[in-house]
Chain A
Amino acid sequence: MTRLLALLALIATPGFAADHPQVPRFIDETAASGLQSVYAGEWLFMVGGGVSTFDCNDDALPDMVLAGGEGLASLWQNRSEPAGGLRFERTAASGVEMTYVTGSYPVDIDSDGIGDLVVLRVGENVVLRGLGQCRFERANEAWGFDGGDGWSTALAATWEKGADWPTIAVGNYIDRFQEAFPWGSCTDNWLHRPQNLTGIGQRFAPPVALKPGYCALSMLFTDWDRSGTASLRVSNDREYYKGGQEQLWHLPPGGDPALYTEQEGWARLRIWGMGIASDDLDGDGYPEYYLTSMADNKLQGLVKPAEAAALIPKYADSAFKRGATAHMPYTGGDLRPSTAWHAQFGDVNNDGWADLFIAKGNVASMPDFAKDDPNNLLLQRPDGTFAESGDKAGIASMRQARGAQLVDLNRDGMLDLVVVNRNAGAEVWRNAGPSVGHGLGGHWLGLRLHQAGANPDAIGARIEVRAGGRTWTRETTLGGGHASGSLGVQHFGLGAADLAEVRVDWSDGSISDWAKVGAGAVWRIEKGRPPAPVN
């Protein structure tokens, strides 16, 4: 009913035709922006290739760290003018310049208000403590972080109940020393939990092996059933596991992790799992999950049990029904099946319906899969179906894409796009708004959560936004995608609404009151305080 009302409201609004989502115009500003980065390498770097975005110099613009594979990872400070063209400046000796980096995720580990970075590598993973002004220092030893010696390809972080530091899950891939016969050599994933040692303070405990590991390429802590405790979803690459499947882990606070079982409703699914995206697409308060693979991507929605029955983690795939399979190229003439990597929901046209970006690219030179495999931009219609618009929007690059981020890079309220490509230059596009002839763009809202003490960015909180007769629900997560993550502003498209109400379930039992916020601005939402615009 909610969806129907919203649909009627939108149809009645000029510029919001139900069948034709407004196509945003993405302008390739890679060259003009100064961004030059390549994720380079052969077999060891056939996966990975991520980008993390977060504001590391406190100028309210997201900066970027790009993986370099055999080359150096690099940090790019965002010098874009507000609402202007994109500009980036490489920072020398920032501390991220390491080889064999597959990806990174920003997380404020020590809650000092300065973003830290967990760097995933082929070899030892590294935590970098943020020093401010986009400088970092190695903190493995100081923080007791055992970086191991694996082929790390996924990460997710959460704050368990009562914890001052995050719990970090790291997904690992093949035993890289079994290169002559890698199948069946998936290595354990790791769970880095914090501990508080008397006289020493906060550190990470030795990592717990999450057995069995099935060659994880994406992980996400998500409170899938709104129980108040996040579970860990792991998407695994069936190419290399034996007896494996997709996984969902219980993570009771302080308790041992345990896999959800068939008896608990977890159904066996075996795909070339490469990326996880999540958002509440249907407004029921529970997230849907998009899982990328090869030629067969899944859009999973929770199957609701009969009334009064407990929720079980049973999901139905609606990708085919909703036009979101993205299983083969839609432009360029290559008719072979696609290979999908990073996936991310975001409302790129601010019409109030979350859209879906998918990074595409051949693993290497697999002849049965598309070589010219364009990235997808699936625009959601009010009826929940998706319309492919990557070519019209201008992001249909044929490079071998891997990681990416949809993020507002110039604070104009429209989500821009950065994509890391394997053995080719990364690309960045500025979202210049609707294409000519498609009517006006919708309104938008940016929310930056903050709470005092631990977990300052409120990872695991649930944001509710209501406007124009609709309510959007989103949990703040850190993880998923393909070796790529973001810390910062949560972007909401509002469609025709220019005023919204916001409240936050802070995941500690407290829920803020509804508060009014105007569209077209970024608001700081701090626990216990009224919303304040961010200048």
Chain B
Amino acid sequence: MLHKIVLAMVMALGLPGLARAAEGRQVMVQWYQLVLELVRHTPTYSPPVASRAFGYLGVTGYEVLASGRSEMQSLAGQLNGLQEVPQSGASLDEGLDEAVVMHAAMAQTVRNFFGNTGPSGQQAMERMDAVTAKQVVAGLAGDVVARSEAYGRSLAQHVWLWSLEDGGAVIDNMGFPRQYTLNPVPGHWRPTSSIALQQTPLLPGWGGNRPFAMPTGTACRLPPPPEYSEDPESEFYRQAMEVYDASRTLTEEQKTIARFWSDDPMLSPTPPGHWVSLVLSLIEQDALDGPQAADALMRVGVAVADGFIGCWAAKYEYDTIRPVTYIKAVIDPKWEPLLITPPFPEYPSGHSSQSGAAAEVLTAIFGENYRFGDPTHEEDGIATRQFGSFTEAAQEAAMSRLYGGIHFRAANERGLEQGACIGAYSVALRTLR
């Protein structure tokens, strides 16, 4: 279905009478649709890495539109380290075409961030580039096309150079360090998988990356998790028993919730891609214009990217044991969780932190009690779920990790709180005047 949507969108660009400004929005959205697939099919794209790409992609799309509109404010000076973006030297009225600029910028940015994808992804990028380029330049003067393409590429290059210094540009060995010393003290993380690469935890330095909007990775610090204990009277044991008991009485609805938010890397657009996918559906549903769409995608991209940085900083500060390790050692050696346990420390929950951040942003944009359906996983045979608010969706995402047996309650609840704190920095960005 998705590929048909994308192809249909490409074709729609050629329809007569379509406003050029609307084409810029459409070009942006269709590149995002492709990126949701590239995230799924590029092996280095674990959730933190995916969130980073969504951050930079969002900034690129936003700056393209902001550069030609007086009602939009550049993010330069607002986002950490982002210097003044290149000036076009021409206006939309006088010699630039927004769709061509957008296409050139997005095509270049997608290549920059997904140059390491597989042969099908390479082919898809080439086809998308070729087909869209042909569509957007139709009827335009050659000098306008050349000027617009050059400007789009210069914006992309500006963002790309900015990204290279954030600490997350190089992913080696799929993100698993070749050397890592486990903390031998009970209660700390142990490998949970028999996959050889995953005997060290994913991206232990990610929390030190430069955030987008929040001042530092530890700007939204969390209290420590419940103190580790194997005493049945302890809070830690109680929370582990909650996971264990829940796993043995899961309803079909709870299993569905766990799988809906599972968002496994390489098998889905990942948790940050899940929220981006939702935004894309809302853009269509609410017929957001270009600036509104770019604003929403940028804010959510920034929020989830910062969400993962903040979350990862906390994960490696507390380095907490996963439920599967604890429960097998203390409660039931034969226990298996519903979901595959991710290969990194437990506290806080990454999905909860970034979902909390995304919900904070989307609530600010769409309102407190905005009802929506989330069709992200329809192509995978998982039905659309309905929500009464973004907060409700984020809370369900958080709780899904307990149902799935991969997080304790504290990690989910504190994660949501951390996400709300992080998302507020994205909300505070000044964009549409």
Select one of B6, B123, B131 contacting A179, CB under 8 A: B123
Do A238 and B116 touch across chains, with their CB atoms under 8 A apart? Answer: no
Least distance between A436 CB and chain B CB atoms (Å)? 32
- Chain B 117-140: CB-based contact to A (< 8 A → 1; otherwise 0): 111100110011001000000000
* Cβ of A242 under 8 Å from chain B: yes
* Cβ of A46 under 8 Å from chain B: yes
11 contacts between A and B (CB under 8 A): A43-B120, A180-B128, A181-B7, A181-B127, A183-B2, A184-B2, A296-B197, A325-B196, A337-B173, A363-B118, A363-B119
Least distance between A305 CB and chain B CB atoms (Å)? 13
Do B174 and A337 touch across chains, with their CB atoms under 8 A apart? Answer: yes
Select one of A180, A238, A243, A328 contacting B379, CB under 8 A: A243
- When distances are taken between beta carbons in the complex, the residues of chain A under 8 Å from B433 are none
Do A183 and B120 touch across chains, with their CB atoms under 8 A apart? Answer: yes
* Cβ of B41 under 8 Å from chain A: yes
Do A238 and B123 touch across chains, with their CB atoms under 8 A apart? Answer: no
Least distance between B254 CB and chain A CB atoms (Å)? 15
- When distances are taken between beta carbons in the complex, the residues of chain A under 8 Å from B195 are 295-296, 320, 325, 327
Do A364 and B118 touch across chains, with their CB atoms under 8 A apart? Answer: yes
* Cβ of A56 under 8 Å from chain B: no
* Cβ of A367 under 8 Å from chain B: yes
Total A-B Cβ pairs within 8 A: 103
Given contacts A270-B267, A317-B194, A368-B116, contact A181 B43 (CB under 8 A): no
* Cβ of A369 under 8 Å from chain B: yes
* Cβ of A470 under 8 Å from chain B: no
Complex Cα spacing A327 to B199, Å: 12
Least distance between B395 CB and chain A CB atoms (Å)? 26
- When distances are taken between beta carbons in the complex, the residues of chain A under 8 Å from B44 are 368
Select one of B124, B266, B382 contacting A243, CB under 8 A: B382
Residue of B nearest to A320 (CB): B194
Complex Cα spacing A264 to B147, Å: 63
- Chain A 169-183: CB-based contact to B (< 8 A → 1; otherwise 0): 000001000111111
Least distance between B252 CB and chain A CB atoms (Å)? 12
Do B380 and A243 touch across chains, with their CB atoms under 8 A apart? Answer: yes
Select one of A181, A239, A242, A337 contacting B380, CB under 8 A: A242
* Cβ of A211 under 8 Å from chain B: no
Do A182 and B120 touch across chains, with their CB atoms under 8 A apart? Answer: yes
Do B197 and A337 touch across chains, with their CB atoms under 8 A apart? Answer: yes
Q: Which residues of A contact B (CB under 8 A)?
A: 42-43, 46, 174, 178-185, 238-240, 242-243, 270, 294-296, 317-321, 325, 327-328, 335-337, 363-369
Do B3 and A181 touch across chains, with their CB atoms under 8 A apart? Answer: yes
Least distance between A494 CB and chain B CB atoms (Å)? 32
* Cβ of B242 under 8 Å from chain A: no
Given contacts A243-B382, A320-B194, A336-B173, contact A294 B116 (CB under 8 A): no
Do B118 and A239 touch across chains, with their CB atoms under 8 A apart? Answer: yes
Do B118 and A179 touch across chains, with their CB atoms under 8 A apart? Answer: no
In the complex, besides A179-B127, A183-B120, A368-B44, 16 extra interface pairs with C-beta distance below 8 angstroms are: A180-B128, A181-B7, A182-B3, A184-B379, A185-B3, A242-B380, A242-B381, A243-B382, A295-B197, A317-B194, A318-B194, A327-B196, A327-B197, A335-B173, A366-B116, A368-B116
- When distances are taken between beta carbons in the complex, the residues of chain A under 8 Å from B115 are 367
Complex Cα spacing A318 to B264, Å: 23
Least distance between B308 CB and chain A CB atoms (Å)? 20
- When distances are taken between beta carbons in the complex, the residues of chain B under 8 Å from A336 are 173
Least distance between B400 CB and chain A CB atoms (Å)? 17
